[in-house]
A and B are shown apart, each in its own frame.
Chain A
Amino acid sequence: MTGNYGEFAVCCENITKTYPPDIQALKNIDLKVSPHQIFGIIGPDGAGKTTLFRMLTTLILADEGKATVLGYDVVNDYQEIRKYVGYMPGRFSLYQDLTVEENLKFFASVFGTTVEENYDLIKNIYRQIEPFKNRRAGQLSGGMKQKLALSCALIHKPKLLILDEPTTGVDPVSRREFWEMLQNLKNEGITILVSTAYMDEAGLCDTIALILNGEFLKIDTPKNIVQQFEPEIFSVQSNQRSKLLTDLRRLPEVSSCYAFGDSIHVTVENKKISEEELQNFLLKNGHEQIEIAKIEPTVEDCFMELSKQQEENN
């Protein structure tokens, strides 16, 4: 048994990974994941999420740095790690020619257990695909493949579940259901490390790490990240959306300005411009039905602001 693995389920120190010739996938990163939570790695494609997960699941070696998973070293104790970690890669990687049931049995036997022994853990997920247990995995729809992959990743009752972009390309309703499943697994005591490119899923995690270009922009709870955001944000609407964007971008007092759903988020540093001044500017430029409100930033606002800072620093 793993026994006591100390304070952290995952601990990385100064991890660097470069792919030839010179693609720096991970740049000297540090990461500490406390157990029994949902920890989200949030960033776009190419940020380094998959490289990080492949390193933690002992599938690739880092060039530099040290990492432990459940207290085990990823290089020296890789066999131990593989016993206690469940991994669902971004690309569907079950056996397409085996049936649903055969895949599940296969993964159970590889880990020296049986489906019956750990059925309780997967039953809520597996029940939804059980009517198709004799169908080949390659013949399943996207949503069913995802549930089968999750069942297979859980069948050996892992202590840590690592999920690489499980909701990519999944519609908003199914995404919500998937996150409910993760919440239930967390309540079973499993630590979950999950990556996503959807910023709106940040709020469903206990802690998030925002990642871009192989570096973490910030690691904290979603609430703290939003609270630490310094500039003011105004949500602005008018009757001419396209012109609104170009007009606002002409204002030197506005540091950034982007569409967010049906309104535009205007970022202002050091209170350079007030709500009234914005209103007057827009009236003068022929806008009507103007609505301006000071709002709390979203994690997406924070990500955009932090990515701008990263660009300026490099």
Chain B
Amino acid sequence: MLLVPVLLGISIVIFALIRVAPGGPARAVFGPTAPPEQIERFNRQYGLDQPVPIQYAIWLRGILSGDLGTSLVNQLPVAALILPKILPTALLTLMAMLVSVPLGVGAGVLAAIRRGRLTDTLSRLGFLFGLSMPSFWLGIILLVVVAVNLRLLPAGGYVPLEKDPIGCLRSMVLPTLTLAVPIAAVLSRVVRTAMLEAIGEEYVRTARSKGLPERIVITRHMLRNVALPTVTTIGLQVGYLLGGAALIETVFTIPGLGRGLVDAVTNRDYAMVQAITLIIAVLTVLTALVVDLLYVYLDPRIRLR
């Protein structure tokens, strides 16, 4: 994937988004019966009366200098509104990653080692359930059972990390679990397949015939083989995490980027929609780039080529 053309393409798509809104953003904000003067003033204020290529150039120049525009709802700079939303979403996605990777890799390795036995079947069932469960539904059920009925954890809401780190972590447990389940499910499948491929390889047979204990064969030889597809999958799931955050943050009322995006769409705050979509898309593309770079580190064969 070529980075620059894709990033440019992303910026054009996001720029085009609000131009295709029926009647333009002004009509969407003020409604179909708004007086023409009000529409005109709005368009002049946001530069919407300029030719489209010039609008794009101005918009892009603004973004590159950190100016994400002005909120159409409360006239505040979008960048300032978005900044506090980044930490909750970053926490949520990172924690979900930290939970799902050991869970998925563990389940996949166990399933491969105990292929065809009960553990394998259970892991397959877990995979299908995790993949088919709507995450927002799982979130609501967890919320009701664990938070409302058992009163073990807070029922949604976000405690700022800088104010109360422990309270913050407690408030993130359920959202993290909810977001981690489908990722762990997908990972377990990928890891299982990669492990089964490794079992058939010559070097594993060699290691075994050298008399190495099975534990060493698995950890030293097979798990290395599993690293590559695992990293690829994790890279692909980052987009899913950021998209899923919109749902999970809504269920657990966390003031993050995802919830911000949904609110912005509901309020027809196009500048916010553009800015948050842009941030998420750029993050996703950059993750793909990091994964490509990790390949070189994980697989010496790529370096040699």
Tell me if chain B binds chain A: no
Residues of A at under 8 Å CB distance from B?
none
Residues of B at under 8 Å CB distance from A?
none
